[in-house]
Structure 1
Amino acid sequence: MPALSPTMEEGNIVKWLKKEGEAVSVGDVLCEIETDKAVITMESSDDGVLAKILLQEGSKNVRLGSLIALLVEEGQDWKQVEIPADAGDPSSLAPPAPQLPSAPSVSASPKLEQQPGKLQIRLSPAARNILETHGLDTSNLEPSGPRGIFTKEDALKLVQKQKGKATELKPEPSPAPPQPTAVPSAVQATAVTSAYPRPAIPPVSTPGEPAAPGTFTEIPASNIRRVIAKRLTESKTTIPHAYAAADCDIGAILRLRQELAKDDIKVSVNDFIIKATAVTLKQMPDVNVTWDGEACRQLQSIDISIAVATERGLITPIIKDVAAKGIKEIAASAKALAKKARDGKLLPEEYQGGSFSISNLGMFGINGFTAVINPPQACILAVGRARAELRLVEDEEGNETLQQHQLMTVTLSSDGRVVDDELASKFLETLKANLEKPVRLALC
């Protein structure tokens, strides 16, 4: 398993594109691998014959460096290839056991259970909770999950098994002792039964029976989802976010779009926003910066990351050198990158890096929102929908009239370590001017 992205620690094998016994040349695509960023094709670095596929399609969480297939030289008997002794060892694919504190804790990854004279057994979080809740013996566990994991289903079967033994050993009830004569009292204690009995914690569902109140279904997280969760948490806990918002009148942009459509030039409002942001960054290079943990780096190229929602999670492909591109070229680039992102076909250089991010939820009817900074970038612009509002406008003679305006709220999230409040305010002021007078975009 190769490292197909800088932050990749493990991958999922989506599909094999070569079969056992098939000749392979340098550069041929062997398989598709889901990394923490996208689905990427793995190419062969040697000529030969694909002798043995060790991990089939659908294999999950395969650690870097794990054997997934064997290649032999042309002319060799690929059917008699020698498989390494540790290739099928589940422990060779499992991550090392984490050092857990002595106090009970909740872990997102399976826990290793050491049994004397046996291989280590890895407990899933759900299985561990069930075992601890019911006080079950963990000395003779029989895992059925992949790579030796003791799953939630294994734990539920063990609960049922223990209940069966308890029923068989239950003694006959002994005669009830004689009840003492009730003594009259001014106060009598009465048993109160709650209308809302407290459920078992955690609630446990039994296979084949109706779900218990409060039960849940575990949905495995993809590599991309786990990385998104990790990066968002790091961003919100390590970056001092500051927020500033402004309402922009985009009436001129909407009218310009209609004029361009007459010439069969199709561009979106978001394309104008991308261009206006790049022009503003060119006018204010102090905002086109990143933070590397110790120092601020001012970037020469203006590369805009655009947030694209996919089935695997949010990903931010990058439009390179936006300030030097026209609106039509930006529209074509944004459309092509969004399609590749949804298809999982982005190349690493198409989503790594970037100097500024834009997230637009206006098409979902959102008026305004705040976005989380994508480190090491220093800023992200959150864009809401266009909405019609009536405003008082004073003419040259001092008369006030109500006029309808198409307003759009943009909110800048900035890293307070490199973009202070004054700089963020000036950036929004300049961006607002560029959006409200799109003719200025042609001057830069």
Structure 2
Amino acid sequence: MSPLNDLLMPKLGLTMTEGMLIEWCVAAGDQVKAGDPLFVVETDKVANEIAAEADGLIGEILVPAGETVPVGAVVAHWTGPGQQAVQEPGGSAPAESPAASVPAVPPAPATGGRIVATPLARRLAREMDLDLAGVVGTGPGGRIKAADVRHAKAPAPEAPLQERGQRVAASGLVQSMARRMTQAKQVPHFYLAAEAEIGELLDLRRRLNDQPGAPRLTLNHFVIAAVARALAALPQQNRIWSDGQIVQFDEVDVGVAVSTERGLMAPVLHGLAAATLDGIARQSDGLLERVRSGNATHADMNGGAISISNAGMFNVTYMTPIINPPQSAILGVGSVRDVFRPDAQGAPALKREMGLVLAADHRLHDGAGALKFLNYVIDLLQDPYRLLRTQTQG
């Protein structure tokens, strides 16, 4: 059948190599029109509905729902208007010939009450305290060999232990997450840890949230803004490694780890190069709503060179995160802690500090560049009024 009559697993992202076909929306023999949904593919924790590009008739479905296949694999056949369905060549399978019966090997023949066995077999039988009368010989004329004795004496295999628990088939989302985490550990990580003193930021946040009519700002919105500003100022950090090549991004996009009922997901905020704090808050709120309601788009779940994973609400001092491929970095955010530090005169002063851990891909980033990036983020968090300016002023 012509490739024009093949439905293929589409490539839905820059680094997509396979997808799970989780649902068929049509059956063999169905007439479809352009735009009708054909099947649903799950990749990167997002379900993508694949629509018909033209009118046609669905032929044979080759890939059942629930299977994972590589990009470009044929999942079904179809015929367009005016085309004749082509029967795949091939006849009925030849009938299987009946398996020849294999006669059981009789026990070793006894000649006048004498068992035929090799000398080594007899010696092994004596050492093992084994009666040769019950041993099946496989040598010529049923002669017992040493291997027959060893086989007869070998202990029966123990019955497998009963598993205490239940086996449950992993969902497509769980399988996708498992693949990505395995892939993530192939990335050569290195880590940098530091603290940011955010007392002034917390005070600014409180004052901004007291203003009526404005979106409510969270600590994470400030971190997102600082990371976005750092990416815009240091574009060499805004790139990823893909298939042996470096991809330099023009746009500033930042991923955010989100806990949902379906598991941990990492949607992406797009176009943050000149975004304000209020703009980040509004875009973030809309994105999280789509993700948690299961309505995230493919674009929502792709893009960006870095994500932020904030575990501060769980009383975690430091978080050492894993890079989310194909991104090249991730920033782990810990809890805000009250600590005493010496002031300029050496007297103890109460500070409010937040632990930060940057994980970076050593194929793209070296220690000096990553340190510069992390310190840029920290400087913005410690001088948060800079985040109120536009990017051209900052």
Q: Same fold (TM over 0.5)?
A: yes
Is 1:232 the equivalent of 2:181? yes
CA contact (8 A) 1:40 1:344 kept: no
Deviation at 1:242, TM superposition (A): 0.8
TM-superposed CA distance for 1:261, in Å, is 1.6
Cα distance in 1 for partners of 2:28, 2:246 equals 51
* Partner residue, 2:375: 429
**Per-residue displacement from partner, 1:252-275 (whole Å, max 9, x unpaired)?**
222222212222421211111011
Give the SS at the match of 1:323.
coil
Q: 1:20 to 1:296 in 2, by over 3 A?
A: closer
SS of equivalent residue, structure 2 residue 228: helix
2:35 to 27, 37, 46: 27
**Distance apart, 1:335 and its partner CA:** 2.0
Structure 2 Cα separation of the partners of residues 45 and 333 of structure 1: 32
The gaps in structure 2 that reach 5 residues or longer are 1-6, 90-95, 99-157
User: Does 1:402 pair with 2:349?
Assistant: yes
SS at structure 1 position matched to 2:185? helix
Q: Is the 8 A contact 2:252 2:273 kept in 1?
A: yes
Secondary structure of the structure 1 residue equivalent to 2:285: helix
Counterpart AA for 2:76: L
Post-superposition CA distance 1:79-138 (Å, at most 9, x none) = xxx99789xxxxxxxxxxxxxxxxxxxxxxxxxxxxx779xxxxxxxxxxxxxxxxxxxx
What SS is found at the alignment partner of 1:234?
helix
Per-residue deviation, 1:323? 2.0
Deviation digits for residues 367-404 of structure 1 (CA, Å, limit 9, x no counterpart): 2111112233321111112222233323xxx362432x
Q: What is the CA–CA distance in structure 2 between the aligned matches of 1:83 and 1:367, rounded to whole Å?
A: 65
Correspondence for 1:373: 323
1:281 aligned residue: 231
Structure 2 CA distance for partners of 1:3 and 1:51, relative to 1, 3 Å: closer
Relative to structure 1, is the Cα distance of residues 53 and 366 closer, same or farther in structure 2, using a 3 angstrom cutoff?
Answer: farther
- Is residue 203 from structure 1 mapped to residue 212 from structure 2 by the alignment? no
Asked whether the equivalents of residues 40 and 345 of structure 1 are also in contact (C-alpha less than 8 Å), the reply is no
**Of 411, 414, 417, which residue of structure 1 is paired with 2:363?**
417
Mark the CA change 1:434 to 1:73 in structure 2 (over 3 Å): closer, same or farther: same
State yes or no: 1:44 paired with 2:2: no
Report the CA distance between 1:247 and its aligned residue: 0.9
Mapped partners of 2:342, 2:43: distance in 1: 54
Determine which structure has more spread, i.e. the larger CA radius of gyration.
2
C-alpha displacement at 1:337, in angstroms?
A: 1.9
Change (3 A) 1:283 1:66: closer
Q: Structure 1 15/311 Cα, relative in aligned 2: closer, same or farther at 3 Å?
A: farther
Distance in 2 of aligned mates of 1:34 and 1:318: 17
Using the TM superposition, give the Cα deviation of residue 51 of structure 1 relative to its aligned residue in structure 2, in angstroms: 8.0
* Correspondence 1:86-235 to 2 at 5 A: 202-204=160-162, 214-235=163-184
Q: For the Cα contact (< 8 Å) 1:222–1:312, is it kept in 2?
A: no
Q: CA deviation at 1:407?
A: 1.5
Letter in 1 for 2:228: A
Preserved contact between residue 32 and residue 58 of structure 2 (Cα < 8 Å): no
Task: Identify unmatched segments of 5+ residues in structure 1.
Answer: 75-81, 87-115, 119-199, 205-213
Q: SS of 2:319's equivalent? A: coil
Contact 1:40 1:346 in 2 (8 A): no
- Corresponding position: 1:343 with 2:293: yes
Q: Aligned AA for 1:221?
A: A
**CA 22–267 in structure 1, closer or farther in 2 if over 3 Å, else same:** farther
In structure 2, the residue matched to 1:248 is 196
Q: CA RMSD in A?
A: 3.7
In structure 2, distance between residues paired with 1:117 and 1:402: 90
Distance 1:311 1:203, change over 3 A: farther
Residue 176 of structure 1 aligns with which residue? none
The letter for the 2-side match of 1:402 is A
Query: How much does 1:318 deviate?
Result: 1.7
Q: From 386, 395, 401, give the equivalent of 2:336.
A: 386
The one-letter code matched in structure 1 to 2:35 is G
Secondary structure in structure 2 of the residue aligned to 1:322: coil
User: What residue in structure 1 maps to residue 304 of structure 2?
Assistant: 354
Question: Paired residue for 1:9?
Answer: 18
Q: What percent of counterpart residues are identical?
A: 30
Q: 1:302 aligns with which of 252, 257, 272?
A: 252
Q: Residue 207 of structure 2 aligns with which residue?
A: 259
Contact 1:288/1:298, CA 8 A, preserved across alignment? yes
Match of 1:177 in 2: none
Change (3 A) 1:19 1:3: closer
- Whichever residue aligns with residue 167 of structure 2, its letter is E
**In structure 2, what residue type is equivalent to 1:225?**
V
TM-score by length of 2: 0.67
Q: Which has the higher contact order (CA 8 A, sep 6+)?
A: 2
**SS of corresponding position for 1:375:** coil
Does residue 389 of structure 2 align to residue 439 of structure 1?
Answer: no
CA distance in 1, matches of 2:62, 2:55: 21
Residues 417, 12 of structure 1: CA spacing in aligned structure 2 closer, same or farther, 3 A cutoff? closer
What does 1:311-326 correspond to in 2, within 5 Å?
311-326=261-276
Using the alignment, how far apart are the partners of 2:183 and 2:342 within structure 1? Answer: 45
Q: What letter corresponds to residue 203 of structure 1 in structure 2?
A: L
Kindly tell me: are residues 440 and 312 of structure 1, through their superposed partners in 2, closer, same or farther at Cα, counting changes over 3 Å? same
Deviations 1:126-183 (A, max 9, x none): xxxxxxxxxxxxxxxxxxxxxxxxxxxxxxxxxxxxxxxxxxxxxxxxxxxxxxxxxx
Offset, 1:439? 1.1
Q: CA deviation at 1:292?
A: 3.2
